[in-house]
Amino acid sequence: MIKRYFGTDGIRGKVGESLITPEFALKLGWAAGRVLAKTGSKKVLIGKDPRISGYMLEAALQAGLTAAGLRPVLMGPMPTPAVAYLTRTFRATAGIVISASHNPYYDNGIKFFSDEGIKLSEKIELEIEAEIDKPLKCVDSSELGKAYRINDAAGRYIEFCKSTFPNKYNLSGLKIVVDCANGATYHIAPLVISELGAHVIPMGVEPNGININLNCGATSMQALSERVVAEQADFGIAFDGDGDRVMMVDHTGHVLDGDELLYIIARDKLRTGNLRGGVVGTVMSNLGLEQALKTLGIPFDRSNVGDKHVMELMVKNNWCLGAENSGHVICSDYLPTGDGIVSGLQVISAMQGSRMSLFELRQGMKKYPQILLNVRFNNEIDPLQDEDVLAELKVIEALLEDKGRVLLRKSGTEPVFRVMVEADEKEELVREYAQRIADKVKA
């Protein structure tokens, strides 16, 4: 069966259009409640990022869930991984996050976690979709759910994050710039890092509902790079709007993406004897990561794009570490989903344990030039079936021979076609190859 509503990361879109409306959120809450009410405690935790539409969608979801007989537990602004963690610790039936992650404020989304703190299976998502098409009927008044709020949720999560950092280390003497993207980590990440001893310079900690991800955070790193250099900080760390992505900046202003952070964590786990098996990346992971891990003798496997798929392959291989180059880093020894704060702490732990700077640690991996171009397209037309696109793809692959690769794919969260080319060539040439294919897609 083909899913009609759920994408690669829940349901996402522009507020007021298509699925991101109060009416649909009400029906979704009721439908999810009908499916989820079959087992568990009937408690459903709800967290959100600070974008303005979250209040509207939270109220609609709450009404739908209570109509189905479930008990919504409201936590206010909370990172996505915090909802995953607290869903498990509160023994809740499920967790819901209202967030469009790295998207602008005018988008929003709804994603679900199971009672185990992992993304829902496709089977459950299809069951929820089937319920959405049915008429909404309230349970009997005596069975209606009742919402309540948890006031200490942030404190519980802060203590969890700190517990993942070795007691033998502390951050005393370090100056760290922390960019929270005016998102869900604004009241958590600076506290975690400062309570571990660092002098924190906060950025992006004044959310107003419409400035989330705006020229800040893990999807816009220039401001952080400049601030780290200006402040003569030891390094900087950035999160996206919902806190499941992390990027870092060394003292020179160089940006480290998910591939480089994954390499640093994997190498440190190998050094300390804590690496179980190998490492999972995605089809977008840089060839330089694969080569660097091979040099260390660490097995590497690629999944489809999406942290959900990364985790599935980690479970299949019985490995404990995986990531996307966009900054979703999963350290499943702590949490079965991407967690920006926890993953950032593992990189800092590697710095402390090896007594090396972030600049020094990244030297072991050489990234291949990789160009990613996004082309908006009509969903009714499939570029992968177009003869001109396929012909140009064949030409470029022949030019690359065995020195690089091309990846063409549709986005799972927006009407965008992604063209990626990487090769052991000059960046200008790689960009030219990518642009040639993108031009065919546009045509």
Task: Name residue 306's amino acid.
Answer: G
For residue 112, list its beta bridge partners: 96
Please, where are the H alpha helices in 179-221? 189-195
Q: DSSP strand E in 91-134: where? A: 94-98, 107-113
Q: Rounded to whole angstroms, how far apart are CA atoms 280 and 367?
A: 17
Nearest to 49 by CA among 211, 221, 200: 211
Q: Rounded to whole angstroms, how far apart are CA atoms 217 and 221?
A: 6
DSSP 8-class letter at 432: H
Nearest to 72 by CA among 22, 162, 178, 146: 146
Give the phi and the psi of residue 10 in degrees, each rounded to 5.
Answer: 80, -145
Q: Token digits for 186?
A: 């604004």
Helix (H, G, I), strand (E, B) or coil at 238: strand
Q: Token digits for 151?
A: 């006031």
Which are the contacts of 173, defined by CB distance < 8 A and separation ≥ 6?
A: 197
| Annotated catalytic residue 303 | no
Q: Which of 99, 101, 114, 326 is catalytic?
A: 101
Using alpha carbons, list the distances in angstroms from residue 244 to 145, 263, 326, 344, 400.
30, 18, 10, 11, 34
Using alpha carbons only, give the angle 408, 413, 418 rounded to the nearest 5 degrees: 20
- Give me the active site residues, please: 101
